[in-house]
A and B are shown apart, each in its own frame.
Chain A
């Protein structure tokens, strides 16, 4: 007798929700519709085979429950510490009712588009189904708002799950400074920045928090050790993004109405010709240089002269490369060494 796995899972949820104290594995197997009960009349080999099949099925179902966000409580034997049964606390599990307006529900729906093709895609859809269950406004594809990230990572889901269980993780990582190395970290937070994902985590080997770009993780992320192995500091210290070091001042010229980011954090000094002068603080000369270059002529560095020269050097070099367009075929680089 095979039965729809959805039906079995639903029956399991109902049974565990109704369990007064707990249900043992044997009780689950014997009573929940969808599992094959033990049969004493079978040959010992068949008994063992069926036993193993039940164990596999039940482990898979526990994983599905976890994936759905259902807090399955494992009841432990007080003397031996063995798992002796399972239970779901309905009050602990319930989705809180949130009153979303139809405009808010529409905005929520963009999550499906944002994670399309990523490991969190199915989770976004499932989350929206949950929102629909307790809200009279259904999350539908928003017509006037969209969002897209192009560098979503396969590691996100694993990291989110590990973080929720306070499990440390290990992965191979390429950094600009250290090359490829194995990192063991305690995940604190996922940070989304300009369409890329980062993991903010405590690096056990380096003994301090670090930010990891998920796209630089090679291969798979594996969990290390036991659940509940660490606590996440509250509030989280601010990630550095490399912005430690002494503060310097630069003066940047901006075309009227260009460079809002610089204007917002800087101090207006007046005008010079067609340029609005703004004084800004910086820690890394490269940050100012890159920002001015990205404004493609709508900004210029007035001082310090060193950064102004760096800007000119980058632009002059880019011009040399840009003026000799080569076709895509010969740009391989690898076979011309």
Chain B
């Protein structure tokens, strides 16, 4: 696999990953926190109220980035599942186990913030709507990934089962995305398309992009921190972990 850069190849080794990643995590936490604070303060205090929703639209600045990143995390787990099945990379399995709880919490948060937003705008916290139900299924898929890892005693079989569930469950992601177009729904259609028009006025956009970038950065930090824990847990007998336990390394 000559196309993989040396630094990435190095991180595929648990020992190098453990040694190199701590400073990355700190930087991701610092950058993500600053970005999230700037984006949120901007969105809460320096953007005018929206014409139809008034001030309640400000929930957009947490709801949309969280929901978007939660879906991206699921896609990344499915990709890691393919990598695990094809190349049997240990770190792909570690990634799946580390990313699933982060995705699960972010999906729960996307649903909760959506429910809060629904109260003033739709007059109800919950409707059995295609977008909301498919996001609820995403939450169950994340639960499934977490539970599967715990209930299958053989780690190799657990990783294979996790990979298969992640890949099969990825069918839900386009359903979430296109649910607002395929079905009659209360949820508004996508306002930002990667290769299409942006239906949001520019004055509202900057804090949204800042918060999307910040949640990406923070989620990467959370996943790497979880991976670092799992690397220690799964390599406890190794000399380099024993050295760390005795305080001979960071």
| A joins B in a complex | no
- Which chain B residues have a beta carbon within 8 Å of chain A's beta carbons? none
